Amino acid sequence: MTYELFYWPEIQGRGEFVRLVLEDAGVEYADVGRTGGYKVLLAALERELAPYAFALPVLRAGDIVVGHTALIARFVAERHGLAPASERERLHAATVALTIADLIAEVHDTHHPITVERRYETQREPARARARAFRDARMSKFLGHLERILAANGDWLVGNAASYVDLAAFQIVEGLGYAFPHALAELAPELPRLFALRDRVAARPRIAAYLASPRRIAFNKDGIFRRYPALDAAPPRAKRARARRR
């Protein structure tokens, strides 16, 4: 069975967290938006993906339609050996995946703090304030959390093998490095395990092949991770220390 991924064609965005799982699993999938374009996606949301699909990404597998990035990633991963086997660890993995989903939403809100319905250019000023708050406290809190999980668990975030949440953590480090290069460089010395995990994931043969392929869309100013120099700066050390104590 071929999986059909419905996602916007020109960005990594949230769809990338699903693409990485499909690619690492080595399964066949159709990236519907990239072949059919916006018209096909919008029509699908109204017809074959309705009534449950609200926003993209959405995955269709035969008569199954799944929405929400973390749930789609989990669904594919559990079918293809990229999730732990026990219920306990599957729930740990889902917990981390949903924490990463919260982080993704906060990254998104740095450039769209007022509404997703209007362009960044209409909300530049609140975006500056929101991005500062994200850089000064939230970013280190989320990344420090992943670092502490790795300190407790070892090479992988859950269990003793790579899972979909490690792929998501890879994408987070790559994306934050693109969008907030100064802020991430300041935090990097405190995140050795997370950066080592990023490298381990990048070296996985199917991921390495994918990253080198034209299927990997480059980061750009339309996705979740956007490089707006006005929104990036190294966070002051004192504020970070306070955030860590909370």
Ligand X SMILES: N[C@@H](CCC(=O)N[C@@H](CS)C(=O)NCC(=O)O)C(=O)O
Instruction: Residue count of the chain, please give it.
Output: 246
Q: Which of 239, 38, 58 shows the shortest CA–CA distance to 132?
A: 239
Q: Which stretch binds ligand X (CB under 6 A): 51-59, 126-134, 181-189, 208-216?
A: 51-59
Report the DSSP pairing between strands 58-61 and 64-67.
antiparallel
Distance in Å, CB of 14 to ligand X, minimum: 4
Closer to ligand X by CB, 68 or 240: give it.
68
Q: Which stretch binds ligand X (CB under 6 A): 52-60, 118-126, 139-147, 232-240?
A: 52-60
CB 186 within 8 A of CB 143: no
Closer to ligand X by CB, 13 or 113: give it.
13
Q: Which stretch binds ligand X (CB under 6 A): 27-35, 49-57, 80-88, 137-145?
A: 49-57
Sheet holding 3-6, edge to edge: 29-31, 3-6, 58-61, 64-67
Alpha carbons 153 and 180: distance in angstroms, whole number: 27
Closer to ligand X by CB, 55 or 208: give it.
55
Distance in Å, CB of 53 to ligand X, minimum: 10
**According to CB under 6 A, which residues from 54 to 83 bind ligand X?**
55-57, 68-69
Closer to ligand X by CB, 74 or 90: give it.
74
Closer to ligand X by CB, 27 or 101: give it.
101
Distance in Å, CB of 57 to ligand X, minimum: 6
Could you give the count of Cα atoms lying within 13 Å of 136 in the half-sphere of its Cβ?
10
Q: At residue 150, what are phi and psi to the nearest 5 degrees?
A: -65, -35
Q: Which stretch binds ligand X (CB under 6 A): 53-61, 84-92, 134-142, 159-167?
A: 53-61
Distance in Å, CB of 11 to ligand X, minimum: 8
* 19 binds ligand X, rule: CB under 6 A: no
Coil, helix or strand at residue 187: helix
- Report the residue from 14, 92, 138, 198 that binds ligand X according to the rule CB under 6 A: 14
Cross-strand pairs, 60? 4, 65
Distance in Å, CB of 223 to ligand X, minimum: 8
Burial of 85 (0-12, 13-18, 19+ CB in 10 A): exposed
Please report the DSSP string for 103-138 in residue order.
HHHHHHHHH-SS-TTS-GGGSHHHHHHHHHHIIIII
- Report the residue from 30, 40, 98, 101 that binds ligand X according to the rule CB under 6 A: 101
Q: Which residues bind ligand X (CB under 6 A)?
A: 13-14, 55-57, 68-69, 101, 116
